[in-house]
């Protein structure tokens, strides 16, 4: 089963086109792992809407908070990660504070290409290596990373490769090689691509899969097709809906529900179900990777109940 396979890893990284529900999938996966008894950390990168709020917990920016028993969230800010790295390297608090207060330092951080990404990935590596003080067991059984959308997500994966080649010596180059080793290790890390049954999302998913293998040498472990409209009518029912729509039939389905309004809604559902099947088949043909579908949730907002629904779907996949 897909969940069994993913939970064999220490680190699961999610990426995909913006707007496909990657954050919701990440929170659902973390919740499913927590239901399995795992101690889970869900890491987001500068997320405007934190997963901890969906889970009913406190804000998590800058520190890990326990949103639910056994499920922690962290909204990671690149500047905070860089500041923490400076304090770690400099050691002397007075000197570190002077560096952090210097405007040149802030301009350098803003302008240096790839530095933000490298600091974020370095922090994720530190979290993966963290151990409990007495038992020396891993602090977290599983870390789920909600990485940035496709373009930035691929850039995040490329940065340690570029840094390891460009900086052969010193702590930055050494850490870049350690980060690259972690992300390329199929025993510890699983890359999951999230898509939606839409043209651009599927095109980007296929391209990201190819680029991850060819350019970074990371083989994605799964593709999640989120927001799928499943069958609600039999073939006979669908045929009857289309026949009635063509006939301009009048009347009410029930008091206050005109037949034509119900038929329009039914036709939209049929069209979306067919598009879901089309794009699911297209992904299955293009990629030799496990593919799981998650249902479209007819909700204005996504909270804990909705995340549990998706977590159950992941459990059953």
Could you give the C-alpha distances from 94 to 82, 83, 84, 87, 106, in angstroms and in order? 17, 14, 14, 10, 18
> What topology does CATH give the domain 2-316?
Rossmann fold (3.40.50)
Q: DSSP label at 138?
A: B
pLDDT digits (tens, 9 = 90+) for 162-173: 888 877 777 778
pLDDT exceeds 70 at position 153: no
Q: Residue 152: which pLDDT band, with cuts at 50, 70 and 90?
A: low
Residues 128, 74: Cα–Cα separation, whole Å: 13
Q: What is the pLDDT of residue 150?
A: 52
Summarize pLDDT for 176-208 with one digit per residue, the tens.
889 889 999 999 999 999 999 999 999 999 999
114-123 per-residue burial string, b: 16 or more CB within 10 A, e: under 16: bbbbbbbbbb
């Amino acid at each position: 089963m897909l969940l069994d396979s993913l939970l064999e890893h220490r680190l699961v990284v999610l990426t995909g086109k913006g707007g496909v529900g990657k954050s919701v999938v990440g929170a659902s996966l973390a919740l499913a792992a927590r239901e399995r008894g795992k101690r889970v950390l869900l890491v987001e990168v500068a997320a405007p809407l934190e997963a901890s709020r969906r889970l009913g917990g406190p804000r998590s920016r800058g520190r890990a908070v326990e949103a639910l028993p056994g499920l922690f969230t962290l909204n990671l800010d690149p500047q905070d990660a860089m500041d923490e790295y400076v304090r770690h390297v400099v050691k002397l608090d007075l000197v570190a504070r002077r560096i952090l207060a210097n405007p040149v330092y802030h301009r350098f951080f803003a302008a240096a290409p790839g530095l933000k990404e490298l600091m974020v990935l370095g922090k994720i590596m530190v979290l993966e290596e963290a151990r409990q003080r007495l038992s020396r067991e891993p602090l977290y059984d599983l870390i789920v990373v909600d990485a940035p959308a496709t373009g930035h997500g691929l850039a995040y994966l490329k940065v340690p490769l570029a840094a390891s080649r460009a900086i052969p010596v010193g702590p930055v180059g050494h850490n870049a090689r350690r980060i690259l080793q972690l992300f390329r290790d199929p025993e510890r890390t699983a890359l999951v691509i999230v898509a939606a049954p839409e043209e651009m999302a599927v095109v980007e998913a296929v391209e990201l899969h190819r680029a991850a293998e060819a350019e970074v040498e990371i083989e994605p472990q799964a593709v999640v097709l989120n927001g799928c409209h499943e069958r609600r009518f039999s073939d006979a029912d669908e045929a009857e809906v289309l026949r009635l729509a063509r006939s301009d039939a009048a009347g009410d389905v029930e008091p206050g529900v005109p037949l034509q309004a119900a038929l329009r809604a039914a036709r939209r559902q049929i069209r979306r179900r067919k598009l879901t099947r089309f794009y699911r088949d297209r992904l299955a043909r293009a990629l030799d990777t496990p593919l799981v579908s998650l249902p479209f949730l007819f909700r204005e907002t996504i909270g804990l109940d909705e995340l549990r629904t998706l977590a159950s779907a992941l459990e059953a996949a």
